Amino acid sequence: MQPCGFAYIWILCSVLLIFVVLGSPVVNETVKHQNSSTQENGNNSRIPIVSFRWEHVKGPYVVAVGVLVAFLSKLVIEANHNVTSVIPESALLICFGFVLGFIIWGADKVELFKLTPTVFFLYLLPQIVLDAGYFMPNKLFFRNIGTILVCAVIGTLWNAVSLGFTLCVCQKGGAMGDLDMDLLHYLLFSSVIAAVDPVAVFSVFEEVHVNEVLFILVFGESLVNDGVTVMLFNTIEAFIPLTKPIDFLDILRAIVSFFLVAVGGSLLGLLFGLMLSLLTRYTRSIQIIEPGFIFVVGYLSYLTAEMLSLSAILSTICCGVSCKKYINANMDERSVTTVRYAMKVLANGSETIIFVFLGIAAVDKTLWVWNTGLVILTLIFIVVYRFIDCVCCIGVFFLTWIMNKFRLIQLEVIDQIIMSYGGLRGAVAYGLAVMLDEKKIKEKNLMVSTTLIVVYFTVILQGLTLKPLVTWLKVKRASDTEHSLIETVQNKVFEHMLVAIEDIAGQFGHNYMMDKWNHFEEKWVAPILMKPSARKNQDYVFKVFHRLNLKDAISYVTEGERNGSLGLIRNQSGVIELEKKFAQKSSEAMPDIMANMGDELGAVSTLGREPWPSVSLDMHEQKGAKQTEDISHHLLQQHLYKGRKQHRHRYSRSYIEVNKDKKEAQEIFQRTMRNRLESFKTTKMGLAAKTLTKYPKKLHEHKMSSGKLYRYANEDPDIAEEEEDSTSSYEASDDSLTMKVLRKAEAENEKPTFVLETEAAESTLAPPWLSGTEADSNAATPSERARERLPCTPSSIRRAPSTESVAQADAADVEDSSDEELALPSTPPPSTPPPSTPPPSTSPPSTPPPSTPPPSTPPPSTSTSPPPD
Amino acid sequence: METVSRSRCRTSRYFPWLSSPLGALGVGTAREPKRITPVTIQCMDSNDTVSCEQIGVLHKRFKQLSHNEDTLRREHFNAIHDLAWNPIRAQIIEAFFDRRNLIPPGEGSMEEIHLEEFLVVMSHFKPPSLSMTDEERDSVRREKLRFLFNMHDTDNDGTITLEEYRHVVEELLSRSGHIGKETAVSIADAAMLEVAGISMGHMEPDEFYEGITFEHFLKLLNSFEIEAKMNVRFLNMNASTVCY
């Protein structure tokens, strides 16, 4: 849909929202009126057939439509990519909020759409914080915890106190006119406004992609400083009615309260996190609501901390951080996926709502108390103090003392500038400001409106300029997070090396601590919190290996499916028709692939993006209606497995059915083999030649496959397999083509004259890349030494082999591989694709003479299906 | 004395903190190491106080490990208690006795090392300074990667062969206990395939990948910020960590 289409929908919906809100009293009256009229009309109190009960659903209805509108605005924004690349999404959302606010204001329904502190702190913030905790990169966070803490505690304190004093001095100097505020009021105000907001920071920095250390510093600070903010806010608010001067004892109390708030909150969160981990050990029997536990317990940790007036944000963060590892290991993989997605949905959704409502909040006549002096001074000093805070605190402070203690890598000046510039204020400040008691603080509205201005300024203006600034200052950007296997292994080697060096040097350094903690955790914590069965897959290297394998298997399956199915197309005419299609497609794709051959990223990934139509589409395209229908029926019958016993459509709330029938896979496999064998035989009978003459136009394509085949016949099957699977992801994985290769193999052997002909044609017509490889393969068979080595070609990296296929490749056993090769392209069971599928190796074996069809009986499927992890 | 140290500085300018005191001692050659007493370790460069402190710390540690002898042998390293857990302990200890890791790289391995060698090896783990030019950063990176490479390349033929790599991965995963040897082998193989793909680009079907050369190694770990990671602080050593 067009971007403007989205915009129309959005406007439509927001108007709808207004009508819903506006219409309510009118409808109510009419309904009442109707009710009364019906009662008047007939005394027979009949049951009304339809009743309109707006009052009944009014509250949730308005909320739901409001959320819908907020989400739709996000849709509109996301549809315009060229805009979002310049303006951060949060700023756009706020602007949408402005527009919506004016519409609401026009409808005079402002009081319905206020972001109250209760809603914000109890319903919108928790999931964002939980999300942040759950997805926190733990290692990075704890590696930089020293800096984060210094920034969060000292930096925020400094910001709040200095801003408060400065504003007070400015007022005394007469910069703001006549205001009923004293020092404590200013301190309160500055404590509200000093804290960097996690929501704003996350949403802006997420799009900028600065390097991870910088990101974690700003983000970590914004999360941790909540403790400071809450403490400051509570303390100063408690002081305000006091008339007596604050004495030493009060300050001492404040300090104690700070530690209580921060440390207590963290410990509480830790407690909940451990509880949650322990809980997930036993939730396997109720798998379907397993993910629910995460959210409920996380929410409870937030609420409990809020109840005890501890730092709720810290508590939830700690909960998320501490439980993440264990729940991921304990829960089923599907549950983990559910948690991840649900978490993102909730967090992203409430972030959207928050920003839209921040925008709406601007349109409130009663709120606005403008004081130019205060606004301007606040803006200036916020930026200045933040800058001083970052540069001095981290720069000077660290250089002299903390740097030597905690940081090995100094922060560069540029990073510090970005840190200070990234100090965005957001909804937390607004929420706190709204929470102020109007009776105690007379200038509340002034504070709220100034806070709003600051929020808009930082989110919109700073957010807008942050990206150009980052580019301009050449801040180190984040590298892509996808790690190759070798990097992961190296990383692991590295960690151990550093620990060893610290051991040798007798240091109690960071690595030493980390290592000690890991040992402790493995020995004591993990056995308690983690299922014994889950502990197997904890090794990080193994995880990456597993993930890569999984990805390869998936890409293999999708590739196969894109080309029809995993190679089950046997119907002769159908094959030809489809082949025609695919031949065109693949020849179109070829230059693309060629370009990618040298590239280390391999051809598969580019192919993956190629929008190849699926089989059914292809078949509809074909004009010969009756025939294609025939084919399609045939194909469907053959390849869409229909279970022996009809799949029972049963609705169950407590579990999602997964087809686990082992026999099904078995049967599919056998069917495949049967088909394969049959087609093999038919080609032997010379059918292939017939089809060839029947479709002379496809000569080009045939040539190619025959050329390929010729090469295979000459080559070590071992290499052929690798070669096949790598260079021809476009071709070999398409099983209709490979079958053809098979058939061609026969044709070649049976009808040498034909082969000669195509050979001759090929040498002139074949594309250069093909002739190149062919010349190569003609040249020589690989040496003995070559066999010992790992045979590998560049683009096969994408298809990181599974255990078995590597073993297979290593074995270099001709007989073995020939057996395997024929068995390999079996369909994986449709329900769950095996995590590591062997690469599609479909080259015909050369050693066993084709006159005796190699696998008279299909090898047992167990030998080919990869071992489950 | 001072002039000598300055000239040494030029030869090994990437380790200024080492070259100044050690260069004065003629460590650079490392062929005939002289005895070092605490008295001889003195700072030439007054600006470089931290590194002098570091050397002092390391010297103390050296004495501790060697039981006040002048040389360290392998059994001294093996006796370090905390090291016993380390899965790649053997490789790391070997790296200390490897002549390739010395400042003018030699060949073969030594039976025992003196303080100078110990310090030179340790110097590979020095944190980079902030005010480095790109060129310097690059060479530091090279140096560190070379150390890592030498650790893998056990037979010193300039390439990490599949066998060598497998060996490392096996050792690496041996500690985790849950992963069998076969998995380790296949991980190593998969990684090697990856390497071949990344470093060779397109390969002809009858070509085979010999192993990882150093150039490829550099290329492979391109995104790996080794200069930011391969650092250990040699300060604040706790003297109570006596080795057994």
**Alpha carbon B196 to its chain's center:** 25
pLDDT of residue A748: 44
pLDDT of residue A457: 87
Residue A602 has pLDDT above 90, yes or no: no
Contacts of residue A522, defined as CB under 8 A and 6 or more positions apart, other chains included, come to: none
Q: Which two tokens stand for residue A255?
A: 């300090």
Give B-chain residues touching A543 at CB under 8 angstroms. none
pLDDT of residue A343: 92
Residue B106 has pLDDT above 80, yes or no: no
Tell me the nearest-neighbour CA distance from B3 into chain A, angstroms. Answer: 31
Give A-chain residues touching B183 at CB under 8 angstroms. 542, 545, 803
Confidence of residue A301 (pLDDT cuts 50, 70, 90): very high
Give B-chain residues touching A510 at CB under 8 angstroms. 233
Cβ atoms < 10 Å from Cβ of A862: 8
- Cβ contact (<8 Å) for A792 and B208? yes
Tell me the average pLDDT across A140-166.
Answer: 82
Residue A852 has pLDDT above 80, yes or no: no
pLDDT of residue B160: 79
Chain A residue with Cα closest to B124: A501
pLDDT of residue A822: 41
pLDDT of residue A2: 54
**What ipTM did this prediction achieve?**
0.76
Residue B48 has pLDDT above 70, yes or no: no
Q: Is B10 left (phi over 0), alpha (psi -120 to 50) or beta?
A: alpha
Give B-chain residues touching A492 at CB under 8 angstroms. 172
Residue A119 has pLDDT above 80, yes or no: yes
- Cα(A445)–Cα(A534) distance, integer angstroms: 55
Confidence of residue A601 (pLDDT cuts 50, 70, 90): very low
Chain A residues 26-55 with CB within 8 Å of chain B = none
Contacts of residue A256, defined as CB under 8 A and 6 or more positions apart, other chains included, come to: none
Give A-chain residues touching B232 at CB under 8 angstroms. 498, 501-502, 505, 507, 509, 511
- How confident is the model over A666-700, as pLDDT tens digits? 666 676 677 767 766 665 554 444 444 344 444 44
Which one of A507, A602, A800 has the shortest CB-CB distance to B233? A507
pLDDT of residue A593: 39
Tell me the nearest-neighbour CA distance from A363 into chain B, angstroms. Answer: 48
With 0.80 as the threshold, say if the pTM is over it: no
Tell me the nearest-neighbour CA distance from B161 into chain A, angstroms. Answer: 9
- Cα(A466)–Cα(A475) distance, integer angstroms: 11
- Cα(A485)–Cα(A481) distance, integer angstroms: 12
Tell me the nearest-neighbour CA distance from A806 into chain B, angstroms. Answer: 7
- Cα(A458)–Cα(A355) distance, integer angstroms: 13
Residue A215 has pLDDT above 60, yes or no: yes
pLDDT above 70: percentage of residues in chain B: 57
pLDDT of residue A326: 86
Q: What is the Cα gyration radius of chain A?
A: 34
- Cα(A339)–Cα(A290) distance, integer angstroms: 9
Look at residues B32, B48, B27, B37 and name the one whose alpha carbon lies nearest to residue B118.
B27
- Cβ contact (<8 Å) for A515 and B85? yes
For Cα atoms A636, A641, A646, give the angle at the middle one, nearest 5 degrees: 115
Residue of B22 and A456 predicted with greater confidence: A456
Q: Which two tokens stand for residue A383?
A: 């930026």
* Interchain CB contact of A719 with B (< 8 Å): yes
In the block, tokens 């540029």 appear at: A414
Q: Is A80 left (phi over 0), alpha (psi -120 to 50) or beta?
A: beta
pLDDT of residue A583: 47
Window from A168-172, A664-668, A706-710 with minimum mean pLDDT: A706-710
Cβ contact A221:A228 at 8 Å: no
Q: Which two tokens stand for residue A660?
A: 């686990």
pLDDT of residue A320: 92
Which one of B125, B201, B209 has the shortest CB-CB distance to A790? B209
Contacts of residue A834, defined as CB under 8 A and 6 or more positions apart, other chains included, come to: A553, A828, A865, A866, A868
Confidence of residue B179 (pLDDT cuts 50, 70, 90): low
- Cα(A274)–Cα(A666) distance, integer angstroms: 43
Residue A145 has pLDDT above 50, yes or no: yes
Chain A residues 493-522 with CB within 8 Å of chain B = 493-494, 496-512, 515, 519
| Share in percent of chain B as helix, strand, coil (round to 5) | 55, 5, 40
* Interchain CB contact of A604 with B (< 8 Å): no
- Cβ contact (<8 Å) for A782 and B231? no
- Cα(A498)–Cα(A510) distance, integer angstroms: 9
In the DSSP assignment, the letter for residue A734 is S
Chain A residues 795-824 with CB within 8 Å of chain B = 795-798, 800-803, 806-807, 809-810
- Cβ contact (<8 Å) for A485 and B86? no
Reduced to 3 states (helix: H, G, I; strand: E, B; else coil), residue B207 is coil
* Interchain CB contact of A410 with B (< 8 Å): yes
**Alpha carbon A582 to its chain's center:** 33
pLDDT above 90: percentage of residues in chain A: 5
Tell me the nearest-neighbour CA distance from A742 into chain B, angstroms. Answer: 21
Which one of B80, B87, B188 has the shortest CB-CB distance to A503? B80
Which one of B202, B228, B232 has the shortest CB-CB distance to A505? B232
Cβ contact A605:A585 at 8 Å: no
pLDDT of residue A792: 41
pLDDT of residue A304: 94
* Interchain CB contact of A714 with B (< 8 Å): no
Look at residues B32, A807, B38, A264 and name the one whose alpha carbon lies nearest to residue B21.
B38
- Average pLDDT of the residues of chain A: 67
Tell me the nearest-neighbour CA distance from B29 into chain A, angstroms. Answer: 23
Tell me the nearest-neighbour CA distance from A110 into chain B, angstroms. Answer: 53
Residue of B207 and A12 predicted with greater confidence: A12
- Cβ contact (<8 Å) for B190 and A801? yes
Q: Which two tokens stand for residue B156?
A: 């010193």
Tell me the nearest-neighbour CA distance from A723 into chain B, angstroms. Answer: 6
Tell me the nearest-neighbour CA distance from A75 into chain B, angstroms. Answer: 35
pLDDT above 90: percentage of residues in chain B: 0
* Interchain CB contact of A835 with B (< 8 Å): no
- How confident is the model over A34-47, as pLDDT tens digits? 544 444 454 556 77
- How confident is the model over A728-778, as pLDDT tens digits? 444 434 444 444 444 444 444 444 333 334 344 444 444 444 444 444 444
- Cβ contact (<8 Å) for A776 and B205? yes
- Cβ contact (<8 Å) for A776 and B234? no
Chain A residues 321-360 with CB within 8 Å of chain B = none
Tell me the average pLDDT across A298-313.
Answer: 91
Residue of A798 and A254 predicted with greater confidence: A254
- Cα(A374)–Cα(B68) distance, integer angstroms: 69
* Interchain CB contact of A791 with B (< 8 Å): yes
- How confident is the model over A366-424, as pLDDT tens digits? 777 777 777 788 788 877 777 776 666 655 555 445 544 545 455 667 777 788 888 88
Chain A residue with Cα closest to B242: A506
Reduced to 3 states (helix: H, G, I; strand: E, B; else coil), residue A654 is coil
- Cβ contact (<8 Å) for A800 and B194? yes
Highest mean pLDDT among A83-87, A342-346, A617-621, B45-49 belongs to A342-346
- How confident is the model over A607-625, as pLDDT tens digits? 433 344 333 333 333 344 4
Look at residues A336, A311, A139, A294 and name the one whose alpha carbon lies nearest to residue A232.
A311
Chain A residue with Cα closest to B89: A500
Residue B192 has pLDDT above 80, yes or no: no
- Cβ contact (<8 Å) for A792 and B65? no
Confidence of residue A269 (pLDDT cuts 50, 70, 90): very high
- How confident is the model over A799-831, as pLDDT tens digits? 434 444 444 444 444 444 444 444 444 444 444
- Cβ contact (<8 Å) for A408 and B130? no
Tell me the nearest-neighbour CA distance from A146 into chain B, angstroms. Answer: 16
